[in-house]
Each structure stands twice: as C-alpha cells, then as structure tokens.
A and B are shown apart, each in its own frame.
Chain A
C-alpha cells in the first residue's frame, strides 16, 4: 500500500489513534518498517510538530495585561463592538485629559482650508479652495486637476495629484487628492452641478523617502479623509478605464 503524505502527517498528528483506524495504522506501521525513506519523512513531520510547539511559547510566560483580565471578568455587555472600538477605548483610557470634541475635526478642516487659502493666495492662478454658499469647493488649479488629471499622471510641478476615484452612494463621482505644497494637504472632493465639493481635508501624512509622492498610498491618507471615503463609497473604486470614462463624461 502506498502511503500518502497526508496520511503520514495525520499519523504524526495523532489523528489515526482511534480504534476505527486500526487497520490503516497497522498498514502504515508495516510500511514504515520496510521503507526508510518513509520513516525519514515521518521523522521530519514529528520534528516540525515539535518545533511548532514552541511557536510564540514566550507569550505563555508573559504576565497577562490587566485590561485583558478585566475584560474576562467584565459584566456581559449588550453593545456591539469591533476592533476600532477597542482601540479607541484604549487610546481614550491612555489619554484621559485629551478628549477630542466631535467638532474639532470640522474646526481643523476649516483651519486647514484657511491655511490653504492663505498659502495659495500668492500663487498664480488663485486659491485652490473657496467658500461657496458656505461650502468648500475646489477652484483654479485644483478644480482643473480634479476635472482632467488621472491618478498617477500628475504633470511636472503639478499642484495636485489624484488618488482614487469612485462613485458615491448618492451616485456622484468623488476623488481623493493631495495638494503638493510646503505642508501637503489631502482631501476628498465630490462632483455636483459643475463643482467639486470638498468633503474632507486634513494635513497629508508625509510618506518618508517618497518626496515626489506620486502614489497616493493608503498610509498617506489621513484618517478623517479615509473614513469619509469609506462612508461615501458605493462598491469598488474605479479602475484606470473607469476613471478615464468618468472624465470623458465630465464626471456626471
């Protein structure tokens, strides 16, 4: 009888110990007697099994963090939790005096916008952001880039580079962008009635060693912008041809 590697492995793992496997086991043990190569393979399986028994074994000797002991002994809660909630709670516990009010993200956006406006004021072509009926919209070079520029195709010295484009749940097109300036700013704009409305802006997270920064990687998008994308996106982001088609149809 030929012995498959899976059988040999199951034998090494004690899976053939039960009474129902008695004939299979006998055949296998007979084969092991007469076939040194098979016996070597079994030895390797056992060696690996033994080695794996030590995987992260040091963790077993570490003191269990207090928060886990508390979690195990907590009163059962009815709330739904996810990993982000755990992290948020942990971060809040570590910095009890620095609770960030809800409005601060908005305030930060406005400050950033003011900063962009100020910085861009002296630039030729005018400010890339402006207020229109109380809403922030893209103007000048940023509006042109949002209309025309494809992802990863920023011309030399371009003010803006485009990230991902997608359809929002309300059917409009939205695009992420980074404004290249002394303090780069990342944002999300959605197209409606000829204009690009800014849904989020925040200081860009600079990518070390990537000064040219022509790829908008996940790590480059600040959390406020990222969470807006996740809230608004319907389905998957556009691929290159989808993006080109959307541009062709003037993002409508």
Chain B
C-alpha cells in the first residue's frame, strides 16, 4: 500500500508541468494557477483511494483541478454579486463581446473564450484528451463538449485572424 502511494506520487510529480499548464490556461494567471494546482494536489491526496488503477491519472487530476476552479469562480461571482451594484456585472460581461476584433496573441485570444469553452478547448486541443475523456471529466454529454469545442475554435479563428469568419 505504502509503495503504491509512493508510485502514484511519482506519477503526480511527473504530471506537474502539464497540470500547471492546464491550470494556467483556466486561470491565465501564474500565481492563481499554482495555487489551484496545489489545492488540487491536496484534494487528490485526500481521496487518493478513489483513483482506480488503469484509468488515466492525468484526466483524474484535470478533473480535480477543473472542479476546484469552478468552486473558485462561484466564490468570486458570489463576492462580486454581493459587493458590486447590479449594473457592474453587465458591463463586465459585455466588454469581451463588444471589443473590436483584432489580431491577438494566442494566449490573449484564448483568454477571451467563455469559461466552459476554455476548459473544453484546453483539454482536447492543448492536453490532447479524446472528446469522450474530456466530456467525462467535465461531466457533460459528448454533444455539449463537441459544440463547446466548435464554438471555441470559431472564436479563436476569428480572433487570430485565420479564417476571416469562413467557419
């Protein structure tokens, strides 16, 4: 038992660069991303018994990171809703969609995507997960995942100036 935990922890260490990249693409903030990874590691080790050998440890960890991020977003939204007058939220939400479309860096374009599309695109196109794996860890039907990826791609193409809106 002891040694299998040790082995898993070695695998976690080996995954750290990718976990950090995934967290970075969710948060697009270096310190937040590392905080998120640290939290996910703590949560993962608390429930390490739930991980089943033979399943992908990376998917499992991505799922834990994503859930921790969703918790954080909800907490942030709650704080904002509590503390800012009603109209502030609307302005923030509109800012991205009304911004003039121009050529952006990849990271900046990616940061423009809505939360859900960021997670889906990141898992499939950056981390290389299959649609089925990504859908399972995000706990959405595969059709939902597919449409998030399609919409995310279309937005990115437009922002990066690749497609001229041909998609």
Interface residues of A (CB under 8 A from B): 5-6, 9-10, 13-15, 40-41, 44-45, 47-49, 51-57, 59-62, 64-65, 67-69, 71-83, 86-87, 90, 151-152, 163-164, 166, 176, 215-218, 221, 226, 229-230, 233, 236-237, 239-240
Most buried by B among A64, A166, A239: A64
In the bound assembly, the distance between CA atoms of A215 and B159 in angstroms comes to: 33
Give the complex CA separation of A13 and B83 in angstroms.
43
Chain A residues positioned under 8 Å from B85 (CB to CB): 151-152, 163-164, 215-216
Cβ contacts under 8 Å, A215 to chain B: 84-85, 88
Q: B107 at the A/B interface (Cβ < 8 Å)?
A: yes
A72-B83 in contact (CB<8A): no
Docked pose: A218 CA to B84 CA in angstroms: 5
- Contact between chains at A55 and B122 (CB < 8 Å): yes
Nearest CB in chain A: distance from B9 CB, A: 5
Residues of A within 8 A of B18 (CB): 60
- Complex: A95 Cα to B82 Cα, angstroms: 30
Residues of B close to A40: CB separation below 8 A: 166
Q: List 22 A-B contacts (CB under 8 A).
A: A5-B150, A13-B124, A44-B157, A44-B167, A52-B106, A52-B121, A55-B106, A55-B122, A56-B24, A64-B17, A67-B38, A68-B34, A69-B16, A72-B9, A72-B41, A74-B41, A74-B45, A76-B46, A215-B85, A221-B83, A226-B83, A239-B86
Central interface residue in A10, A59, A237, A239, by most chain B CB within 10 Å? A59
Which residue of chain B has the shortest Cβ distance to A51 in the bound complex?
B106
B96 at the binding interface (Cβ < 8 Å):
no
Q: How many of chain B's residues touch chain A, expressed as a range?
A: 35 or more
Rounded to whole angstroms, the CA-CA distance of A215 and B87 in the bound complex is 11
Known: A51-B160, A68-B16, A82-B71. A163 touches B83 (CB 8 A): yes
Shortest C-beta distance, B162 to chain A (Å), equals 6
Task: Give 18 new A-B contacts, CB below 8 A, not counting A6-B147, A71-B41.
Answer: A10-B146, A44-B166, A44-B167, A47-B162, A52-B126, A52-B156, A55-B21, A55-B25, A56-B24, A61-B17, A64-B16, A64-B20, A71-B38, A83-B68, A83-B72, A83-B75, A215-B88, A218-B82
Q: Which of chain B's residues have a CB closer than 8 A to the CB of A152?
A: 85
Interface of B is mostly: helix
Q: State whether A53 touches B153 (Cβ < 8 A).
A: no
Least Cβ–Cβ distance between B15 and chain A, in angstroms? 8
CA distance A218 to B12 in the complex (A): 37
Find chain A residues with CB under 8 A from B122 CB. 55
**B104, CB-defined interface residue at 8 Å:** no
Q: Are B131 and A10 in contact (CB under 8 A)?
A: yes
Q: Which 9 A-B pairs have the closest CB atoms?
A: A218-B83, A71-B41, A52-B125, A76-B45, A72-B12, A59-B21, A60-B17, A64-B16, A56-B24
Are B150 and A9 touching (Cβ within 8 A)?
A: yes
Contact A86 B38 (CB under 8 A): yes
Contacts of A216 in B (CB 8 A): 83-85
Whole-angstrom distance between the alpha carbons of A53 and B18 in the complex?
12
Residue of A nearest to B28 (CB): A56
Complex interface: chain A residues within 8 A of B167 (CB): 5, 41, 44
Judge if B81 is at the interface, Cβ distance under 8 Å.
yes
Are B38 and A48 touching (Cβ within 8 A)?
Answer: no
Of the candidates B39, B68, B126, the one whose C-beta lies within 8 Å of that of A56 is: B126
Pairwise interchain contact B162-A15, C-beta atoms closer than 8 A: no
CB distance B131 to A13 under 8 Å? yes
Which of A71, A164, A216 has most chain B Cβ within 10 Å? A71
